[in-house]
Amino acid sequence: MAFLEIRNLVKRFGAFVATNDVSCDIDETGILSIIGPNGAGKTTFFNLLTGLLKPDSGSIHYRGKDITGLKPYQVVGQGIARSFQVVSLFEEMTVLENVCIGVQHRLGQMRHPFRSFKKNKQVQEKAMEILERVNIADKANNGAAYIPHGDRKILDLAVAITSEPQTLLLDEPMAGLSKAERLRITDLIKELNKTTKIIIVEHDMDLVFGISDEIIVLHHGTILATGTPKEIANNNEVQAAYLGH
Ligand code: ADP
C-alpha cells in the first residue's frame, strides 16, 4: 500500500462536483505540488485530506490506516499537519508563546494552555528549538502581530511542525511574499523536507517547478496529469488547459 493512498474521492457542493473521482498514490518522501487553475479543486482536496471536509464517497489511507472522514485533530494525530493560506496566530501573544501553545498541545499538557507554559521550561526549550530550526529565534519575544508578513508565514509553519508531523501540507506558502521572503521559505521547505513529506498548493510556478519532485495537475476536480516538473512542463494537455501555451 502507498504511503498516502487516495481512491475514487468525490466531494459535491449541492449539484456541483468539486472533487470528481480522484485517485492517486503519494510517496513517502519528496515534495509534491498540486497545481491547477482557480476553482480546479485544490483547496477542497487539501480540506478532504485534513478532515475539514468529509468526502461523499471514496477513501483515504495513510500509512495503511483508513483516515477517511476523520476530524481535523484526529488527522493531526495521525501525523499530518497543515498551514493555511491565511495565517492564523494568537495575535496578542509573542512568537515564542504561539509555538509554546503548539508544543504544549503535543505534550498533552493542555489543561491550562495559556498560563501553564510560562513556567514550563521543557515546553519553552522545545519551542525555542523549533524557532531556531526555522530561523526566527531572534524574534522569539516579539509580538506575533508586529513581525513582517514573511516571518508570520514562517511562524505559522513553526506552529504546524510542533505536532512533529511526517507529512506537512502547505496552502500557498508564497502568497503575498517579497522575492527575498520567497527565497527564505523555499530554503525552509527544502530543509523541512529532509525529515517531512511536503505537499504544496501553490500558484508561484517558479517555486513549483524549482522545488517539486512530483506535480499533480487538477482540472475541473479531476487529475489531468501527474509527473515530474519536466514531464508536466512538456505535457500538451496541461499546456492547453492551464499553462496557456
Ligand atoms: P481551488 O483551490 O483550485 O481554487 P477550490 O477547491 O477552492 O478550488 O474550489 C473548487 C470549486 O468548488 C470552486 O468552483 C468553488 O466555488 C467550489 N466550492 C469550494 N468550496 C465550496 C463550498 N463550501 N460551497 C460551495 N462551493 C464550493
Ligand 1 and 224: CB distance under 6 A: no
Q: Which pTM value belongs to this model? A: 0.92
So what's the ipTM on this one? 0.97
**Cα–ligand 1 centroid distance for 42 (angstroms):** 8
In ligand 1, which atom is closest to the CA atom of 37?
3
Q: Which has the closest alpha carbon to 42: 205, 223, 195, 213?
A: 223
Q: What is the pLDDT of residues 209-231, one digit of tens each?
A: 999 999 999 999 999 999 999 99
Cβ partners under 8 Å of residue 112, min gap 6: none
Listed residues 145, 164, 183: the one ending a domain: 164
- The domain boundary residue, chosen from 164, 180, 209: 164
Residue 39 CA, ligand 1 centroid: distance in Å: 6
Is the dihedral angle over the CA atoms 77, 82, 86, 88 positive or is it negative? positive
Mutate to test the pocket of ligand 1, among 9, 11, 16 (most ligand atoms within 8 A of CB): 16
Cα separation, 201 vs 111, whole angstroms: 34
Judge residue 87's burial from the number of C-beta atoms within 10 Å of its C-beta, 0-12 exposed, 13-18 middle, 19 or more buried.
middle
pLDDT in tens, 168-193: 999 999 988 999 999 999 999 999 99
Length of the chain: 245
**Domain boundary residue among 108, 130, 164?**
164
Q: What is the pLDDT of residues 92-127, one digit of tens each?
A: 999 999 999 989 888 776 555 556 666 788 899 999
Cα(167) to ligand 1 centroid in Å equals: 24
Domains: count for the chain? 2
* Segments forming the whole domain that contains residue 207: 1-79+166-245
Rounded to whole angstroms, what are the CA distances from 134 to 43, 49, 117? 25, 25, 21
The answer to whether residues 137 and 203 belong to one domain is no
- In the numeric block, which cell numbers belong to residue 118? 510560562
Ligand 1 mutation target, pool 12, 43, 216, most atoms within 8 A of CB:
43
35 CA → ligand 1 middle, Å = 14
Q: Are residues 228 and 185 in the same domain?
A: yes
Q: Which residues contact residue 60 at a Cβ distance below 8 angstroms, ignoring those fewer than 6 apart?
A: 4, 5, 6, 7, 9, 48, 49, 66, 67, 68
- 32 has a pLDDT exceeding 70: yes
Same domain, 134 and 95: yes
* pLDDT tens digits, one per residue of 130-154: 999 999 999 999 999 999 999 999 9
